[in-house]
Structure 1
């Protein structure tokens, strides 16, 4: 089938949020505000983290692709897996959350084969992000100063054979965290080192 049939959908473009939801008296921005305003939820925080990484490396000019085997594709072709955690959540807590990153290896999907039988490490580099706020009244996911990042090459992550990893292990493997302003350079260093 061609791209106009039922086999392949057209490639999405970036939307502005001003698009109307016909006969609902609302816009796409209204939907986004309704569905994504709680930046403490795991799902929304994860999407925000992917966006922040995409912006840092200049890859936010195309929409996120849900079924890609990685989260961000840099302009120079590096595949990035982005995983995040936070000490505070959207539910009542008796203590701060333990940071653990998941989804390090995952099954891939292809049009011809469907889902792969086994998980694999599919990115060139892995970006681990933590929203560091430890008090609810200071929590601001939109303040990049509250984020810390660690970056590891695929071979290091794959050598652990882990699907999930605690922050303490990431710190041992990656060394000190970098802030948002240094993230793109750190990603470039890790990818370049892994490709040499």
Structure 2
């Protein structure tokens, strides 16, 4: 599988994992303090081939994602579920630990965040849905993030992520039905 866009990753091990999964070029940020030279490379890549930001599903990875997305608009975003990125033995989380299948699935689902944000889903909707506060909220957000392919977020960031990806009320409601059905089946 050939990827046209250039994939932004955190380091060399991520590049190795990407190349095991797909035929693609990468730009490595080499840590969460993304320097201006890296930003310039990403801007150039976005202008010529497009960019997919594919960082680790952890706090430093989100920081890198936000930094680049803030300075280089129009990038696509690929998200890896945390459980697909855990090292054998449970020490460490990152793209480098993911299987080629998980990497291909995340890249296939890459999508751009929208610049113009239209609120369709409110904070009250999230509370009513049991996604913020209360028992099981975190697990519901994890499952919802997987279904909608927007990655995991904490309660504060979920609303923003839903708006940035312009998740419709219908899409949100349909995903919520699946989350609740699986919760009932497992509960």
TM over 0.5: no
Which structure shows the bigger proportion of residues in strand conformation?
A: 1
- TM norm structure 2: 0.33
Larger Rg computed on CA atoms: 1
Q: Could you tell me the TM-score, scaled by structure 1's length? A: 0.32
